[in-house]
């Protein structure tokens, strides 16, 4: 499966602490789209609409508790309360691994709504290949010394994804890993639409702009043009060029 077995709603509610439940009226919106399906643009759009979103790719400190809850072991295990407490002070969230917590968030925040951004699976994979290659080029040490969440909650490793060929890896093995990754991507999209009630879920089409999002959230239409943002790729390109100039690559 793409993530650990989820408990029933009643069981999840029973595990929630009072402090987290007290936030139920504050949190409004979870973007359940996978990373690299426009979460950066949605982050900008949410801010323009007056929301206070948390993007775990911009603020990696959230991933420690989130990943510890979803995939923790004896040394890194974290509670559901720990994971949901990362939403304190925010009314929206997105990116890995927030997008895997939709059942927990439905239980903890009954009034919350959900947004699903979708990209063609092959296009999504190719986009991620470019980004991971950028990370490799921009950082001399890509994995060594990284915290627990880096091993489990970045670049969709929880879906079995491997976006770059490993040393001495056969083409057949890489193709098999890619197939598994794409299957889990598509299963996530399918399961989100099966589990979340349709009245609480907006499947967003990027060509539609502000109108469906504003209607879904009962918020006024912003006057500005809908944002198109990819700061991660821009920053990686800049850092990679710098590393090249310094002779570090």
pLDDT grade for 19, boundaries at 50, 70 and 90 = very low
What's this model's pTM, rounded to 2 decimal places? 0.80
For residue 208, is the peptide bond before it cis, meaning its omega torsion is within 30 degrees of 0? Answer: no
Residue with tokens 């002779």: 247
Dihedral (CA of 207, 210, 215, 218) sign:
positive
Nearest to 191 by CA among 100, 111, 123, 120: 100
Task: Output the pLDDT for position 146.
Answer: 61
In the chain, the percentage of residues whose pLDDT exceeds 90 is: 58
Is residue 66 a contact partner of residue 150, using CB atoms and an 8 Å limit? Answer: no
Give CA–CA dist 42/92, Å, rounded.
Answer: 10
SS (H, E, C) 184-247: HHHHHHHHHHHHCCHHHEEEECHHHCHHHHHHHHCCCCCCCCCCCCCHHHHHHHHHHHHHHHCC
29: pLDDT strictly greater than 90: yes
Sorting pLDDT into bands at 50, 70 and 90, what band is 145? low
* pLDDT at residue 210 tops 80: yes
* Average pLDDT of span 217-240: 72
Top-confidence range, 100-104, 125-129, 169-173: 100-104
**pLDDT the model gives residue 153:** 86
Strand order in the sheet with 113-117: 53-55, 92-94, 29-31, 113-117, 201-204
Copy the structure tokens of residue 84: 């949901």
Q: Summarize pLDDT for 159-191 with one digit per residue, the tens.
A: 999 988 877 889 999 999 999 999 999 999 999
With bands split at pLDDT 50, 70 and 90, how would you rate the model's confidence at 21?
very low
């Amino acid at each position: 499966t793409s993530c650990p077995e989820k408990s029933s709603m009643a069981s999840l509610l029973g595990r929630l602490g009072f402090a987290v439940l007290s936030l139920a009226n504050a949190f409004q919106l979870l973007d359940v789209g996978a990373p690299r399906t426009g979460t950066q643009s949605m982050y900008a759009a949410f801010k323009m609409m007056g929301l206070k979103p948390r993007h775990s790719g911009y603020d990696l400190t959230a991933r420690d508790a989130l990943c510890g809850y979803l995939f923790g072991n004896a040394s890194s295990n974290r509670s559901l309360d720990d994971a949901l407490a990362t939403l304190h002070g925010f009314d929206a969230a997105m990116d890995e691994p927030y997008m895997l917590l939709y059942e927990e968030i439905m239980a903890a925040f009954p009034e919350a709504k959900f947004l699903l951004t979708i990209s063609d699976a092959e296009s999504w994979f190719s986009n991620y290949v470019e980004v991971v290659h950028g990370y490799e080029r921009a950082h001399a040490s890509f994995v060594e010394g990284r915290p627990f969440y880096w091993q489990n909650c970045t670049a969709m490793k929880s879906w079995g994804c491997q976006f770059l060929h490993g040393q001495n890896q056969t083409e057949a093995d890489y193709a098999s890993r890619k197939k598994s990754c794409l299957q889990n991507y598509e299963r996530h999209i399918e399961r989100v639409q099966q589990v979340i009630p349709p009245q609480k879920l907006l499947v967003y089409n990027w060509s539609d702009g502000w109108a469906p999002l504003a209607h879904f959230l009962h918020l006024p239409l912003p006057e500005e043009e809908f944002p198109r943002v990819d700061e991660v790729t821009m920053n990686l390109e800049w850092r990679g060029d710098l590393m090249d100039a310094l002779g570090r690559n």
